[in-house]
Each structure stands twice: as structure tokens, then as C-alpha cells.
Chain A
């Protein structure tokens, strides 16, 4: 049994420094790994990222993150990534990492993801260059996530994104904005690659639980949704 802690949308800044730390100090009692589902900052500044690095470094378990749209806002995503990596936090973007927990190998593939919408209510690579660029970004990220997941040969496979792969976990958000909250292409990548659990954030008004068409459990761990420092999911150790 692998215990996966996860949280997204912590939106930290200097004013919130240390807020999560009391709960994180006991993380080792709850979990074997911590996943961060993006929107770690408010505006994507390096000062905020510094607070994120301080908050999530030197924890008793490995920490693996993806960035969210807020972390891109100041065009400092590369610097933020470097800063977090320097402090021992792995940052995935169309990439994967593996760890061994007891007898079990765990693979996590991550990507920010993007919008685009869901079955029958989605955009396509058609029309104006702006629209083509929007959906092409969606497709490119989903393709990279697919490749990263396909490259994993582990007992347990986890997909970590900021945007949602399904509409299920968006319930509570206005349907009009679903195309800005996720896209079906992420779920296609997840369903094609034998994923055990998909974790995302971004939908602050959404719900925690959902499932892909292929039957993969999806969990929205946006902090307002889970209402705690992190959520914990236990996954059976493969085979």
C-alpha cells in the first residue's frame, strides 16, 4: 500500500509563509510521497516561489510538482522550476520520475496541461491562428504527458497535472468555463497508458472525485476542495 499525499493551488506568498508547515512536519506519518498539483504561487513571482521552496523543502518524503497557470503569470516559469529543483523539489513538465517505496516502484508523469474542453464541447485546431495556437498547446502538452506515461514501467503509475483531464471533478464550477479548466486530451493520454490515479488542481470550486472514460480514478486536490493541508490516497502496490 503506497500512501500518496497531494495538494494543489496553495497560492503561497510572503503573507502565507509557514502556514502549511505545521501539517507538513507530520507528513511522514501520513504519506510516502507528496505531489503538488500547480498554482503554487499567486502571480508566479520569484519571491513567491522562494516561499514555496521554503515551505516544501526538507520534508521527510520526496516532493514532486507541476506548475500551474498562476506560476506562469510573470514569465518566470523556468526560473521557478530551477529554484524548486535546487531545493530538492522535482518539477515535471512532460516528463516523469520514478521512486521506490518499499517493494513497490512508483512512476509519476506530470505536465501542466491546458484548457480546450471536453467531449462535444471542446475547441479544435481550426480557424484563426489564435485558436489553432490555443488548442495546439493543449495537444502538445497531452502528447508529452502521453509519452512520459508510456515510458514508465512501474508497479504504480500516477498522472499529475494542473488542469483537469475530466469534467467530473469540475462540478461546482460554471459549465461555461469548463473549456478553461481542462481538456479531454489529458484523459486520452491517461487511459492509453495504464495509469492508476490521476491528480489535478486548478478547479477551486470543483469536487474531489471523478473518473475517466477508461475507469481511472481522478482526484481534484485544489486546496479549497480538499479543505486540508493535503489529501492522502492509498494505492495498492501493483502486479
Chain B
């Protein structure tokens, strides 16, 4: 998880396993820094079957 603070803006990025965990990130920041504007750029990681494979020769 990456947290960047710019003035009163806080940007969080990174990947988490579920939508709930993504929401928790905003909740935690709101708790500790209620005055900050939160930009939650966290993504829910894709767990689809791979569409490619790599051949190592």
C-alpha cells in the first residue's frame, strides 16, 4: 500500500484482495485524519484465469 500526502490530499494506491478491504482503507484514513481529502486509488486485484503464458526457451 502506498500513501502519498500532498497538502490536505492523501492518495492511497496499491492492490487488495477484496472490495471490502478497499473500502476499509478509506475508513482508516478518515478515522486518523478526518480533515484530509481522500483519493482512494486502491484496486481490487484481478484473479481471473490467465489469458497468456510465457514460454521460456
A233 in complex: contacting residue of B16, B45, B53, CB < 8 Å: B53
A3 at the interface (CB under 8 A from B): yes
A26 in complex: contacting residue of B2, B16, B18, B49, CB < 8 Å: B49
Majority-rule SS of A interface residues: mixed
B30 at the interface (CB under 8 A from A): no
B45 cross-chain contacts in A, Cβ below 8 A = 223-224, 227
A228 adjacent to B48 (CB under 8 Å): yes
Q: How far is the CA of A11 from the CA of B45 in the complex (A)?
A: 11
A205 in complex: contacting residue of B2, B18, B21, B53, CB < 8 Å: B2
Q: How many chain-A residues does the 8 Å CB contact rule pick out? A: 33
B54 at the interface (CB under 8 A from A): yes
- Which residues of B (1-57) have their CB < 8 Å from a CB of A? 2, 14-18, 20-21, 43, 45-57
B50 cross-chain contacts in A, Cβ below 8 A = 30, 226, 228-232
A19 cross-chain contacts in B, Cβ below 8 A = 17-18, 47
B21 adjacent to A15 (CB under 8 Å): yes
Sample of 11 further A-B pairs with CB below 8 A, known A15-B20, A197-B56: A15-B18, A16-B18, A22-B49, A204-B14, A205-B2, A219-B54, A223-B47, A227-B45, A228-B49, A233-B55, A234-B55
Q: Which residues of B contact A (CB under 8 A)?
A: 2, 14-18, 20-21, 43, 45-57
